Structure 1
Amino acid sequence: MISMKRQTKGEFAFEIMNGILMLAICFITLYPIWYVVVNAFNDANDAMRGGIYWWPREFSLESFKAVFNSKGIMTAMGVTVAKTVLGVLVHVLFTSMVAYAFSREELYGRKLYMIIGTITMFFGGGLIPTYLLIRNLHLLDNFMVYIIPAAFSFFDLIIFMSFFREIPAGLEEAAKIDGANDFKIFLRVIIPVSMPVVATIALFHGVYQWNDYFTGMIYINNPNLQPIQTFLYRVVAQSSSNQMISAMPTGVSKNITSQSLKLATMIVTTAPIVVVYPFLQKYFVKGFMIGSIKG
């Protein structure tokens, strides 16, 4: 029989207090999000009276209709989806190729490259030199400014390297006997058996690309090339919401305010990644466990 160890009063009290503390932290974390959702789904004019905390007092979708009737936000959403998909593909392919080369002990100058790469993780040139570099590369107001500068990450390279080192050398040797070169080995052998780390890095970079607003704010002046997060920043921080309201067709904007439009825009921009993330969270755990010391 399995004996159950009885808890002391102190242990029981600790668990109770720990549970209460965790619930309080969850509430403090989640309630602001819930508050935004409740007020966004409430009638805009009624929400101006205040007093809405737990549930919409007068349910309305007018603010969301106004958001989706805005040409700017739909264009920004398309830019975000395009840069996220293309950015993930380029980043994963380029970083994994460099990591595969770095994981080979026979790479000449490997230690020097590792030192140089490690330095870049802690020290950067700063915003002004980076801006001048982007300008000289003719990437200002260019869609590729989202892709090229983010094509490589040394931190992600380390994660890839840790996984590649665990792949049995016999797989590569067998492929070489069959006449495959390094490029074919990488594409047909290494990548197929490395899907866990590929999914991890893809998720890492996908979240970054979706949430990145700074690149569009600094390097993009063309409104047709700004991503959804930059659009949200300009709506919240500037007077764009009033401009959106004034540009709405007659009858669409009569029941919305600049505040309700900001709240609805925040939900529309964050909802996709919030919905997708719980299903992919396990890859974050795998990503942090890759390369860890095994007991």
Structure 2
Amino acid sequence: MHTRSLYGRLVDPVIYIALIGLALITVYPFIYVLIASVSEPVYVMKHQGLLFWPVGFTLKAYGYVFDNPMILTGYRNTLFYVLVGTSVNMLMTSLGAYSLSRRYIKAGSFIMLMIVFTMFFSGGLIPSYLNVKSLGLQDSIWALIIPSAINTFNLIVMRTAFRGVPDSMEESAKIDGANDFVILFRIFIPLILPLFTVIILFYLVQHWNSWFPAMIYLRTRELYPVQLILREILIASSTDTMTSGSATAMDSEQIGETIKYATIMVVCLPIICVYPFLQKYFTKGIMVGAVKE
């Protein structure tokens, strides 16, 4: 007992130090972007090595970001895609998971097998594009919502959780005259609410971070989500229009770097602020969906 206690006293500090170091390594890139976004562009360009505090505090980069009309338009579009898209996702996933979780549904296992098959094999990008185009969804907001209405993994997890609800509860509800919609929305979903919340977060983050489908299906810039605008700024370095007429070429290049950092912060902060409020549901929610049949 004494040896184990001594071993624990020696090893625990090492574990804590390693975990703290890992956490700092993980968080530091975000801290660097935050500090660089509020620093003077000329000092950021000259600075080498790690950055732990602002070098010449200024909010000039954020001024340029919020003066860019495409950022605000992208935010508006992204909020629409997140709210409407997540609502469609949860409705379709709930209906599909509930239907496939009922053991009396004929061919339910075969249908589930076909759905799982899509996790490993798909038609690819070109058939998907042709499918969206043939449906008349190209260059439409619905091109980012309808094709991704159900995520197979989330469907499987929710179906497994529904399978864990006792059949007696469904039978009792039907005796009282409840139909399938009442059973789903007033009995099943409240019973798996932690998992339901986790899947909402999964879909929400998926829509918030999505940019590739918009790049493929959209041609009208006024429909772009903010992540696609961010990609243009980071990859294509399209910050010239944000600083034109207000800076020299050298100043424009310097502040263009801090504009990139500021844009990253503006795009990432909302989802970072939402996450802590839903984090408490993660452990319980995942455990609910992990029950084996």
Q: Does the TM-score normalized on the shorter chain lie above 0.5? A: yes
Q: Taking structure 2 as the reference length, what is the TM-score of the superposition?
A: 0.90
- SS of alignment partner, residue 32 of structure 1: helix
Structure 2 vs 1, CA of residues 290 and 188 (structure 1 numbering), >3 Å: closer, same or farther?
closer
Q: Is 2:15 the counterpart of 1:27?
A: no
1:77 pairs with one of 51, 75, 78: 75
The equivalent of 2:209 in structure 1 is: 211
The equivalent of 1:282 in structure 2 is: 280
Structure 2 vs 1, CA of residues 142 and 123 (structure 1 numbering), >3 Å: closer, same or farther?
same
User: 1:290 Cα deviation (Å)?
Assistant: 1.9
Q: Deviations over 1:197-220 (max 9, x none)?
A: 221211111011111111112211
Q: Which deviates more, 237-246 or 278-287?
A: 278-287
Matches within 5 A, 1:74-153: 74-153=72-151
- SS of alignment partner, residue 229 of structure 1: helix
Aligned partner letter, 1:91: N
Matches within 5 A, 1:196-207: 196-207=194-205
Q: Which deviates more, 195-204 or 62-71?
A: 195-204
Is the 2:194–2:282 contact (alpha carbons within 8 Å) kept by the matching residues of 1?
A: no
Greater per-residue helix proportion: 2
1:180 pairs with one of 168, 178, 181: 178
Is the 2:34–2:265 contact (alpha carbons within 8 Å) kept by the matching residues of 1?
A: yes
Structure 2 vs 1, CA of residues 16 and 97 (structure 1 numbering), >3 Å: closer, same or farther?
same
Is the 1:220–1:226 contact (alpha carbons within 8 Å) kept by the matching residues of 2?
A: yes
User: 1:98 Cα deviation (Å)?
Assistant: 0.9
- SS of alignment partner, residue 290 of structure 1: helix
| Two-structure CA RMSD over aligned residues (Å) | 2.4
User: 1:174 Cα deviation (Å)?
Assistant: 2.8
2:13 pairs with one of 13, 16, 39: 16
Q: Distance in 2 between matches of 1:151 and 1:247?
A: 44
The equivalent of 1:169 in structure 2 is: 167
Is the 1:66–1:248 contact (alpha carbons within 8 Å) kept by the matching residues of 2?
A: no
- SS of alignment partner, residue 260 of structure 1: helix
Q: Is 2:25 the counterpart of 1:38?
A: no
- SS of alignment partner, residue 105 of structure 2: coil
Q: Distance in 2 between matches of 1:276 and 1:185?
A: 30
Is the 1:40–1:260 contact (alpha carbons within 8 Å) kept by the matching residues of 2?
A: yes
Q: Give unpaired runs (5+ residues) of structure 1.
A: none
Q: Distance in 1 between matches of 2:245 and 2:229?
A: 16
